Amino acid sequence: MVAYGFYAFSNNNPDTYFDEISMFFAFVFSLITLLSSFGITFKTSRITTLIKTLSLVSFFVSLIANILITSISTSIPFLVISMGLLLLVYLLISYGLNRSDQ
């Protein structure tokens, strides 16, 4: 539903694939962060709580970032680079939390 919302929200040129690409990135980022926040358990409850909290915060940050990008810019490379960086930062932090063994 989030991905379709971004598809319907963006009113760009029909000659470009910006709508479909923004929908794809919204779907992928929402899928990864929401699955991580609701469906994953780790060795300790502390790490599980930290990663679930990080996932929810990352979901809302990506939601706001995607809304700003689709309303301000029509550049596909800017969308791909910014959402890719957000995803990599999320994965790096969650990997670091998982490896910390606290």
pLDDT digit string (tens) for 43-99?
888 888 888 999 999 999 988 988 888 788 777 888 888 888 999 999 999 999 888
Q: Please report the DSSP string for 24-38 in residue order.
A: HHHHHHHHHHHHHHH
pTM listed for this prediction = 0.80
C-alpha span between 61 and 100 (Å, rounded): 24
What would the two tokens of residue 41 be? 């358990």
pLDDT at 29 over 80: yes
